[in-house]
Structure 1
């Protein structure tokens, strides 16, 4: 893992300089990236989700605000506020360098977020349910509103073969050809999960530009004859640590939707993009099934096919994210050999 020293001493609150910006320049982005690595090394998990990190690298929406806390020019705190979700309300994530914790920097970050959030509504994700997140949220008048489980299973364990509904076949995603149909199905499959349903062409393109993207691991279920096929489901797999492992997976809200209506992101907000301090690992990144094909076992078959693909890459383990309230999905994943490993928590006003 990258070693990033934390030279910051405990700051007096009055010495901290604050900025609220609509966009970051290259120097700011570099500072935020170093802060994220410093926190990940200390906590064993990245404090910002894949969705946020992609927006930092490729540019985000007009409704985003960046809050930066500096001490003597060094970045000691950062918060990302996305106010584009008019249904669920603004969503935020934050990070404080380890040596500046318990000094009021985190509380001031949340106070800035509350001031910037339209109508005072705010959701904040804590990745890994960090010990300080709950008390800070409580002090700031926020409540625990959602929990995502991270579940894992060893890929060396036995995997049953997928059983496909009649007329359904499997192939790999075709970039530039399947994009529009995939996005349309994704919207239908996740109608109750705006974070995932709102995936745009730009969002898809940003993910396809990431070093981990591999179309061979983006499995597409189709029905119909050649030349007249319809996509009825998909399983997008991901490999964490792809560069190190030379394979072609967040932290979604979340990160953070198979036929039972759940996706593995983050990441909810694509939770999915956390650094967990482990060797390369496969992820059930997102599974979606056409609403009119629920109840046929297609979600289970797609999940198994993706796990078999990840095992074929020589990966030792697989992970996924699932909403703790989705007992149907948890039963399925438990039946497939997954068990709870960690949690992400959303706090709301």
Structure 2
């Protein structure tokens, strides 16, 4: 297969206060969520001046990838398109068509399987190509990378760095808490051919990071950023509830590591650097939040290695045992059935 471009696929985020509500409406389009509910989330963004850091993080990552490609003789032009805010993927696909691109490799800023974290990007690509119409370039999404050394090792380094900020005299009562975005249980345990992949991959990543960072300490995988109507069950426990349970058991210090994420975007800094940190303070827990990979050199090299897997038919580089695919099985990771309009 001949590939002639690279495109970074991401979620997108507002870059000024006037962007926030239109962005949030894009996120929940088709779900019947009223503006009154979105206004609550808007306040999280306004706490940071109406700006999400994710777009700048994507710019930084793309610049680092450009440098990495040049250093290794990969001559692919690079592009960046989002799901929910500018630059929108459909606009970028049109630009790629105008530039003569025919078949690009797409890297999504999500390491895991699942509907929102993987399949929805395939749907984004299909919708963007349909919008552009004839001669829209084909985009082949690169595989999931939950157990690639370039993802696992930066997380492990970050956990070790966070541990170093806590009182070593209390190491015996310190615990590692890994977090990821909660999803509806029906979505996490769907009956498709890859049902349960999201939670299984996260459990494997947690184990791999723990082994490399703090194998003598206990650890847990918990969830954050729950949304949606309260009658719909989501993955639990929530990180704040879990911190309270740990305090009751005599834990004195925690390192919270957001292994579900590749960068410190708004959900990380709001849910963990504000809400969870405040919860820990109220409980009297020592608290340290581990960083995400961002533009860590190993993570940037991983992006290049994933591209080389496709360009040169290299074997997959993995640390775990779960299977990975260049093309996901048919009908994988269907979305959960949505309830009626949220009131």
More helix by share: 2
Flag whether TM exceeds 0.5 (same fold). Answer: no
Q: TM-score when scaled to structure 1?
A: 0.30
Q: TM-score when scaled to structure 2?
A: 0.30
More strand by share: 1
